């Protein structure tokens, strides 16, 4: 939503400027302002705000904010403890660490914040009018007010203070851009342009400068706007929350399905191991551990020993995984010959030779037997034994 600007007047009322086309619509009615004034910037006349520019050497922003009150201590009439010091944004600092600073009493700013809070504008930003002036020595005339930036200071003075005050302020500044005929005549200098002939013209000019990135936020540190913890606006997140919930449910479902598939596969391998034990070692009565012990005891000398049944099975499963589309159908173990015969379904006859070659690189000897077409699959028998 667009930023809304308003000038706080002495009676506490607001003169509001809202974007309209390429210009501004000005009126007393507050329109287009978000809840608690989140998109509202309020301008103060700045009579009670002192503007300074001074170097603040610091390694980071926190150090700069802590050092600022002590840097300006000699330039303010009241104690540092009773003053609020606000800094320009770090991005607007110069190479020599010069920062623009606004100083206002705590009481004055607290009263302003309370005035806005009473209108439900607790989060509105606050800026002094003279902090918005463009760079360079400038005097800007407004109704009952003169805004100025001269050297390292910015200020607002009451126009009724007269010609002598203006002359004393400009004595040491030969080049000054003056906007407003009355101020120019009082100083006997040439006007660079017109000032603001009305409050409407003033709030419009201030809003234009603010849109260009000028100004110092006074609500810093202890005066920073605090947003309450509430559920306002949570409705905007309902759709995103629903999508997140669906994604989470889908992920948990996939994990459960994968876990079940792994458990099923493990059970199939356990059943297959028991079946091997029953066929190869009937005396073990299906006890895989007894069958493995018997297989280990049966490995004798006279050539390279055949590995355990479990190791040989692992070699076969690993090799089959490397041949896409192959599927183990049966395994037969001949204890007396120390051989394993595997019946495997393939996608093509070439896959039979490929699996045989892979098995022969495992340290065991593999040879293919009869291969035959069965529907769309090729069924092949492979024999695995110890390498001689």
Instruction: Specify the pLDDT at position 210.
Output: 94
Instruction: Specify the pLDDT at position 125.
Output: 95
Q: Provide φ and ψ at 143, rounded to 5°.
A: -55, 110
Residues 267 and 142 in one domain: no
pLDDT range class, residue 107, cuts 50, 70, 90: very high
- The residue with greater pLDDT, 388 or 327, is 327
Instruction: Specify the pLDDT at position 109.
Output: 95
- The residue with greater pLDDT, 307 or 161, is 161
Instruction: Specify the pLDDT at position 175.
Output: 92
Instruction: Specify the pLDDT at position 12.
Output: 87
Residues 80 and 214 in one domain: yes
Residues 216 and 352 in one domain: no
Instruction: Specify the pLDDT at position 171.
Output: 85
pLDDT range class, residue 102, cuts 50, 70, 90: very high
Q: Where are the beta strands (DSSP E) in the chain?
A: 4-8, 14-20, 23-27, 40-44, 50-55, 83-87, 98-105, 125-128, 138-142, 145-150, 153-158, 177-179, 327-334, 339-346, 364-374, 377-386
Q: Give dist(CA 210, CA 133) in Å, integer.
A: 9
Question: Is residue 113 over pLDDT 90?
Answer: yes
Domain ends where: 227, 261, 280? 227
Question: Is residue 300 over pLDDT 50?
Answer: no
Residues 54 and 175 in one domain: yes
Instruction: Specify the pLDDT at position 303.
Output: 44
Question: Is residue 245 over pLDDT 90?
Answer: no
Mean pLDDT of the chain: 86
Assessment of whether the complete model's pTM goes beyond 0.85: no
Residues 325 and 207 in one domain: no
Torsion of CA 362, 364, 367, 373, to 10 degrees: -50
Which span out of 94-103, 198-207, 258-267, 378-387 was modeled with the highest average pLDDT?
198-207
- Asked if residue 236 is part of any domain, the answer here is no
Looking up tokens 């039979």 gives 352
Question: Is residue 99 over pLDDT 60?
Answer: yes
Residues 294 and 222 in one domain: no
Quick one: which of 354, 344, 328 has its CA closest to 381? 344
C-alpha triplet 122, 127, 132: angle, nearest 5°: 155
Give the domain CATH number at 289: 3.30.1360.100
Q: Give dist(CA 155, CA 265) in Å, integer.
A: 82
Q: Give dist(CA 77, CA 73) in Å, integer.
A: 8
- Asked if residue 311 is part of any domain, the answer here is yes
Quick one: which of 207, 195, 209 has its CA closest to 144? 195
Identify the H or E element spanning 295: helix 288-297
- Asked if residue 242 is part of any domain, the answer here is no
Residues 214 and 328 in one domain: no
Q: Give dist(CA 212, CA 164) in Å, integer.
A: 33
Question: Is residue 112 over pLDDT 90?
Answer: yes
- Asked if residue 275 is part of any domain, the answer here is yes
pLDDT range class, residue 228, cuts 50, 70, 90: low
Which span out of 141-145, 366-370, 382-386 was modeled with the highest average pLDDT?
141-145
Residues 197 and 340 in one domain: no
For helices 288-297 and 238-280, give the axis angle rounded to 10 degrees: 50
Question: Is residue 233 over pLDDT 50?
Answer: yes
The total of structural domains in the chain comes to 2
Residues 322 and 221 in one domain: no
- Asked if residue 155 is part of any domain, the answer here is yes
First to last CA, the chain: 84
Instruction: Specify the pLDDT at position 306.
Output: 61
Residues 126 and 212 in one domain: yes
Question: What is the domain extent for residue 376?
Answer: 248-386
Instruction: Specify the pLDDT at position 301.
Output: 42
Question: pLDDT tens digits, residue range 155-189?
Answer: 999 988 878 888 888 888 889 999 999 999 989 89
- The residue with greater pLDDT, 53 or 388, is 53
């Amino acid at each position: 939503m667009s930023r809304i600007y308003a000038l706080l007047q002495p009676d506490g009322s607001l003169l509001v400027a809202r974007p309209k086309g390429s210009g501004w619509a000005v009126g007393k009615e507050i329109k287009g302002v978000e809840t608690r004034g989140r998109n509202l910037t309020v301008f103060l006349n700045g009579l009670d705000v002192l503007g300074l520019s001074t170097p603040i050497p610091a390694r980071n922003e926190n150090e700069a904010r802590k050092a600022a009150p002590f840097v300006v201590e000699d330039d303010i009439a009241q104690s540092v403890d009773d003053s609020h010091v606000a800094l320009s944004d770090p991005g607007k600092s110069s190479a020599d660490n010069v920062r623009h600073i606004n100083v206002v009493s705590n009481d004055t700013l607290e009263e302003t914040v309370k005035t806005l809070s009473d209108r439900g504008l607790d989060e509105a930003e606050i800026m002094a009018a003279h902090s918005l002036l463009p760079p360079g020595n400038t005097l800007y005339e407004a109704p009952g007010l003169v805004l100025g930036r001269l050297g390292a200071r910015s200020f607002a003075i009451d126009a009724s203070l007269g010609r002598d005050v203006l002359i004393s302020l400009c004595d040491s500044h030969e080049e000054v851009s003056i906007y407003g005929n009355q101020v120019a005549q009082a100083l006997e200098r040439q006007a660079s342009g017109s000032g603001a002939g009305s409050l409407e013209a003033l709030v419009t000019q201030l809003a234009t400068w603010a849109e260009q990135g000028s100004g110092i936020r006074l609500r810093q540190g202890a005066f920073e706007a605090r947003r309450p913890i509430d559920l306002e606006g949570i409705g905007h997140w309902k759709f995103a929350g629903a999508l997140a919930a669906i994604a989470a449910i889908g992920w948990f479902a996939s994990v459960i399905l994968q876990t079940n598939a792994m458990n099923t596969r493990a059970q199939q391998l356990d059943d297959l191991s028991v079946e091997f034990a029953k066929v190869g070692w009937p005396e073990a009565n299906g006890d895989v551990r007894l069958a493995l012990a018997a297989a280990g005891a049966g490995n004798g000398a006279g050539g390279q020993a055949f590995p355990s049944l479990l190791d040989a099975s692992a070699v076969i499963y690993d090799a089959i995984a490397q041949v896409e589309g192959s599927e183990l159908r049966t395994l037969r173990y001949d204890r007396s010959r120390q051989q394993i015969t595997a019946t495997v379904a393939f996608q093509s006859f070439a896959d039979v030779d490929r699996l045989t070659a892979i098995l022969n690189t495992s340290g065991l000897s593999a040879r293919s037997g009869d291969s035959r077409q069965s529907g769309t699959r090729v069924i092949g028998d492979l024999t695995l034994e110890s390498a001689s």
